[in-house]
A and B are shown apart, each in its own frame.
Chain A
Amino acid sequence: MTDASMDTADAPRGKISLTAADARTKHRNAAEKRFQMYGLAAIGTGIFFLVVLLWAILANGLTAFQQTFIEVPVYLDEAKLDKNGNRDIEDIKKVSTFGYQPLIQQAILAQVQDEGFDTPLEDAKDMKALISASAAAQLRDYVIANPDRIGQTIDFRILASSRVDGYFKGRVKRDDLARDKNIDAEHLDLVDQMRRAGLIQKSFNTEFIFGADASESRPEQAGLGVSMLGSFFMMLVVLALSLPIGVAASIYLEEFAPQNRWTDLIEVNISNLAAVPSIVFGILGLAVFIQFMHLPQSAPLVGGLVLTLMTLPTIIISTRASLKSVPPSIRDAALGVGASKMQAVFHHVLPLAMPGILTGTIIGLAQALGETAPLLLIGMVGYIATNYPDGIAEGFMSPNSAMPAQIYEWAKRADPAYYERAWGGIIILLVFLLTMNIIAIILRRRFERRW
């Protein structure tokens, strides 16, 4: 047999070596190499995408944490702000922000002239392009809070307009000015001179983290603070409902449920619900909570309820996994010393499974925190909220936004200054998610137990 097969081999005898590969082996080895390279390339591409994504977020968003401010001494003219001169707060309140605007513009013009800047802009109205529309409101609030300062000159630190801010950050370029109605090259020349004199500066933007959303024309003033609060109240609802309900449901299914059609139905249902598109939950919330139950639209309570229904399957699935990982010997031991089934579960199994349950819950909450689509349907979008809610009940019931919905709202607005806010908002959102995930990992590491 072996001889016969040897004879049929027509390869040249004597030249065969195991170390020198023939053409076919070379081909096969090359195919092997190529295949391996494809795999590496795929992983490389995946990680490349991740890096690009993170880079885009950081490069575009970090600038939102800095804002350009103008420092200017403003003379609070008594003749304009308090005509009667009696410091009556009601009289002072009658002066609208339009009354304050000229004061700021004149103050800046005076400053420009004092410093002797070389600029063709000589009218106070020309300074309007430099300052934010919110500056007048800032001044008015100050005067109403301190009516006795009328007639004095006070140093203010006011927001620069979004164009000046963009010029500082490189978003507004001189080449594009021809298409821009809001600012001219003369303004930018003046800004350069003011920057050299230290009158305009960039500094950390606390207003972006703690402030409220602003109107379309004032991107420099917009902040994420109020929608953060909305997200916080929503997460409270989700946590308060989904943790107990999810744990109770898992305990029943894992420890008590008989194997019958009803529990089978529940199980299939839960795994299906985990894969239902999130927007369908938004439709559910709209139809049930708002149309049918007439709960207030845009309220964090409704948002929280919708997100609870959405996160429940996730929490149930992970809780069941961690209940399953507690060995039967624990249950047997508890039953052996005379505990009832309920006591065995609640006094022994549940505490041991708790770290796993908490990890799953935190991950479910993180998912809910980043969810946007269902919130759009129940109207939790930015522009409704302008101010902080007062009180706990207000926090749940009054219209508010949530972080991702606010980011979406900014991304929809046409002004590029808002894109910077959207990226910045994403940084804050990701910091929250990262923190939650790290807590979950630490919990898992710290309490991980191998039986």
Chain B
Amino acid sequence: MSGVRVAGTGLTPFGNAPERTSRDLFAEATQTAFEESGVPRADVEAVFYGNFMGELAEHQGHQGPLMAEAAGVQAPATRYESACASSGMAVRDAVMRVRNGEHDVVLVGGAERMTNLGTAGATEALAIAADDLWEVRAGMTFPGAYALMAQAYFEEFGGGREDLANVAVKNHDNALTNEKAQYQTAISVEEALDAPTVSSPLGLYDSCPLSDGAAALVLTSEEYADEHDLDAPVAITGTGQGGDRMALHDREHLARSPAAREAGTEAYADAGVDASDVDLAEVHDCFTIAEVLAIEALDLAQIGEGISAARDGRTTADGDVPINLSGGLKAKGHPVGATGASQIAEVTKLLAGTHPNSEHVADATTGLAHNAGGTVASATVHVLEVME
């Protein structure tokens, strides 16, 4: 089917940049994206921007027009907020608008400034993705919520901290060649197991870091890409979105992510592919257990078998389906509003053969990006394919 072309991608380094404003971060990402695309800014018809905690971190709401201005673009702009899935949602709406013929060229992306809040402040800010009355006021933190899921998973399917440590080790290994990654250092299973506990059974190395950063994409219609002879071989061919009850205790199952399954099912059908066609995936590993739940929900692992996938080498760089070749949120970093768009950027490069880790997936034609909000009360999935 006809896809929406990814004409250009741009990422800032992810990491500690507490003094940098999100408008500056986003501007940098868009510079690279426009440069790479060869598309003039004047052709942009709309801006789709994801951001989660701008009100708390920068006392800044109404970020849509602010970010269009920062990008040097004069076009209507909207900010999307869906916790850590904010820019996944922005990508999805942008794709649908281009598909239905409303726009030929759009600027999509997201940014987050987090480290200026400090660890305690950022922990408090991240917690607002949960149900304030019934979860946050009971002392549930964001790592705590995923810890509740990890414990429930262990009870039902087995597995343990060492299996999760293997997920962290794999994603750190993948980030070694990613010059934009927050951590470009290998870790061992032993180091992960010895790290301080954040919220049992999860330790420091099960958790993604706090990050500042931005991502930008220039997306175009197929017609525009052809007419302008753009070098844009990769297209977004499937999009899906899922939802679930806000509070974890209201979910039918405490160790599954039906919103991710719903989004995946829709995206697979939309692209006309199924899970067996997926050559590589970037999934939302804000915590190691989240990667396990994601690959099961996306049918990239059987229910109950996702826990052993990294340890057994099925999802490592040279495994059947490499997961998070960018380093994932775990090692690449997780500036939350930028993450969904950054995953699209990574999959595009992996498929186009321009990623440092492309050598591991030389024949890949189909990739997937999964972005999740909160404890996966919201999720988006996108399928990307090589068009030529």
**Chain A partners chain B:** no
A binding-site residues for B, Cβ under 8 Å: none
B binding-site residues for A, Cβ under 8 Å: none
